Amino acid sequence: MERVPVLKIGDILLVSIQIDMEDQVALQLQEDLADRIVATGCHGVIIDISALDIVDSFVGRTLATIAAISKVLDAETVVVGMRPAVAITLVELGLSLPGIRTALNVELGMELLARVRVDHFDDDDEEDAGATGTPAASDS
Amino acid sequence: MTLSADEAARFAALLEEHQESLVTTWTEHVASTLRGRLSHAELQRQNSELRRGFRQALAGSAQDLAGEPAAELRAQLAELSATRARQGFTATETAVSIFSFKDAVLTTIDAASGGDAIALRDYVAFSSFVDEAALFTFDSYVRVREELIADQAEQLLELSTPVVKLWEGVVAVPLVGTLDSARAQVVMERLLQTLVDTGSPYAIIDITGVPAVDTQVAQHVLKTVVAARLMGADCIISGIRPQIAQTIVALGIEFGDIATKASLADALRYVLAKAGQTKQKRREL
Amino acid sequence: MSEQGQRIEVATDQDVVRVRQLVRTLAVAVKLSLVDQTKLVTAASELARNTLVYGGGGSVEVAPVDNGRRKGIRIVFSDQGPGIADLDLAFTDGYTSGGGLGLGLSGARRLVDEFDIVTAVGEGTTITVTKWCR
């Protein structure tokens, strides 16, 4: 079975999904990430999905679970690089990825993580200070 | 009235014998109806080819325009119609170009036979053949015009949905005109792609130029906003006119937590303020 | 189904990936727009997973179709599984019997142009979907 590599860059774990994942591979990634967060003590996870030509409900659910697990382990997750066609399809599918932060590309994702950490230490600030920092679309 | 084989053969001979005077007279007739919008040489060339087409059809015993012997002539006529349609001539001007062939032939017969009876009967038969030819150009003309209109509609769709970069990190789509489902889809895709290409985390959808908003249009705009959020960008809707605000409320459309601003300027100010806040935070870090 | 149709037996996770790839290839061949390709492949992924998870495996047939005016892709998912007892419930957003997000059936239906389902308890389920070029 193929495995999605997890790279550590500074305080961030970077995952770039380059393959059409089988469900098992996605679940494996979920486990690997949890392990690496604890092992490295990183506080940010960036998952680059710019190479994915579809995101179905299974992958969507896996991303949401990863975000939730990371949160428990005191790390923020940002999903970056979603393609327009994928976003349009997800809206039609009814999948809103609640609780997942998103950014257009890795660079903006890193900025977002930095900002979230600042908010973290600065509790007087309103919750969603950064525009791109709003949790991905809530169902309306 | 269809042409008999005899009549066709006699006419084919006539068209061959008097080719030069025929083409010259015909070209003069056409030139006068088109009032110099096509060069004389161009018309001369077209008419001489058409004359050859007519002669060939008749020599092949064409009884009417529908038959096999007239196939090449039909192709020539269709080509002529298409060219004229694209050059902006009217259907009538195009058909008259063919009708005037009759005048040219009549002039030639007059000069050649001095009005003998057989020649005249031949002429009447031939005349209806030319009428068919002229009407055929009419059909072809209309078809080509329809294709042109369809093409233009598509080009218009492309043209009418520009996505412009307004500021560093801010793109805008000024929507003008009616938003139907097909157009909304094009706008949506174009906007989202531009966000990716420019790495802009903010988009302003300005609907000042949209005359009316119904549930469907609102749905499309909302879906675009949600899709942009999924990708990590924020959309602001600007230019909501009073009537449209009333419709939105009357239809019970939920804009939820989507930022709406009265004008494009307000929206830009809002976005810049938000982006500024963000920058400030980073400096503090 | 035309003779260009292709069939994949779905018994493992890998087969679901193969279904996605086959649908993508054929969707590109009939020139579906990028967004429509994405919608169809996503729907196929959802339904093929249903066939595997709820139907206990089955088959997927993908074929190009042509109704004279437009071209498209038709996909048939069939299994001999337990069938669906309450269709209305199965199509409710958020309802799931298998621990998913409950968007599989209802979501997939929104992503295609035509959606047809035949099911009987104990006899399995056959779902036919079609997406047309615009």
Q: In CATH, what number is assigned to the domain containing residue B131?
A: 1.10.490.10
Same domain? For B19 and B59 the reply is yes
Residue appearing with tokens 């300027």: B265
Same domain? For B97 and B206 the reply is no
Residue A1 inside a domain? The answer is: no
The DSSP line for chain B is -PPPHHHHHHHHHHHHHTHHHHHHHHHHHHHHHHTTSS-HHHHHHHHHHHHHHHHHHHHTT--STTSGGGHHHHHHHHHHHHHHHHHT--HHHHHHHHHHHHHHHHHHHHHHHSS-HHHHHHHHHHHHHHHHHHHHHHHHHHHHHHHHHHHHHHHHHHHT---EEEETTEEEEEEES---HHHHHHHHHHHHHHHHHHT-SEEEEEEEE-----HHHHHHHHHHHHHHHHHT-EEEEE---HHHHHHHHHTT---TT-EEESSHHHHHHHHHHHHHHHHHHHHH-
Same domain? For B25 and B140 the reply is yes
The total domain count for chain B is 2
How close does chain A come to B155, measured CA to CA in Å? 22
Chain A contact for B126, CB < 8 A? no
Quote the CATH superfamily of domain C6-132.
Histidine kinase-like ATPase, C-terminal domain (3.30.565.10)
Chain C contact for B157, CB < 8 A? no
Same domain? For B126 and B200 the reply is no
- Please name the chains neighbouring C, where neighbouring means 3+ C-beta pairs under 8 angstroms: A, B
- Taking CB atoms and an 8 Å limit, are B189 and C35 in contact across chains? yes
How many C-beta atoms lie closer than 10 Å to residue B104's C-beta? Answer: 22
Same domain? For B168 and B114 the reply is no
Quote the domain boundaries for residue B228. 164-284
The total domain count for chain A is 1
- CA gap B260, B251 in Å, rounded: 17
- CA gap C79, C57 in Å, rounded: 6
Of A107, A118, A136, the CB nearest to B229: A136
**H or E segment to which residue C38 belongs:** helix C34-53
User: CATH no. for residue B225?
Assistant: 3.30.750.24
Chain C: residue whose CA lies nearest to A56 = C42
Same domain? For B145 and B210 the reply is no
User: CATH no. for residue A43?
Assistant: 3.30.750.24
Under 8 Å between Cβ of C71 and C78: no
Same domain? For B202 and B251 the reply is yes
**H or E segment to which residue A56 belongs:** none
Residue A117 inside a domain? The answer is: yes
Residue A21 inside a domain? The answer is: yes
Chain A contact for B259, CB < 8 A? no
Residues 6 or more apart in contact with residue A122 via CB below 8 angstroms = none
CA nearest A5: which of A23, A24, A25?
A25
Of A58, A60, A93, the CB nearest to C111: A93
| Largest pairwise CA distance in chain C | 42
Show residues of chain B in contact with C35, CB under 8 Å: 185, 189
Mean predicted lDDT score pLDDT of chain A: 85
How close does chain C come to A124, measured CA to CA in Å? 35
**What value of ipTM does the predicted structure carry?**
0.86
Under 8 Å between Cβ of B205 and B224: yes
Q: Is C98 helix (H, G, I), strand (E, B) or coil?
A: coil
CA nearest B47: which of B67, B82, B19, B83?
B19
- CA gap B68, B79 in Å, rounded: 18
**Which pLDDT tens digit goes with each residue over A43-54?**
999 999 999 999
- Taking CB atoms and an 8 Å limit, are C20 and A89 in contact across chains? no
Same domain? For B22 and B144 the reply is yes
The pairing of beta strand C71-79 with beta strand B259-261: unpaired
Chain A contact for B278, CB < 8 A? yes
Chain B: residue whose CA lies nearest to C134 = B182
Same domain? For B13 and B107 the reply is yes
**Which pLDDT tens digit goes with each residue over C79-122?**
998 888 888 887 777 666 655 555 678 889 999 999 999 999 98
Tens-binned pLDDT, residue by residue, of chain B (285 aa): 577 888 888 888 888 888 888 888 888 888 888 877 888 888 888 888 989 988 888 888 877 888 888 888 889 988 888 888 888 888 888 888 888 888 888 888 777 766 666 677 677 777 878 888 888 888 888 888 888 887 777 777 666 678 888 999 999 998 887 777 777 788 888 899 999 999 999 999 998 888 877 777 788 888 899 999 999 999 999 998 888 888 888 877 777 778 899 899 999 999 999 887 766 655 555
- Taking CB atoms and an 8 Å limit, are B284 and A118 in contact across chains? yes
Chain B contact for C134, CB < 8 A? yes
C132 has pLDDT over 60: yes
Chain A: residue whose CA lies nearest to C14 = A22
Residue A64 inside a domain? The answer is: yes
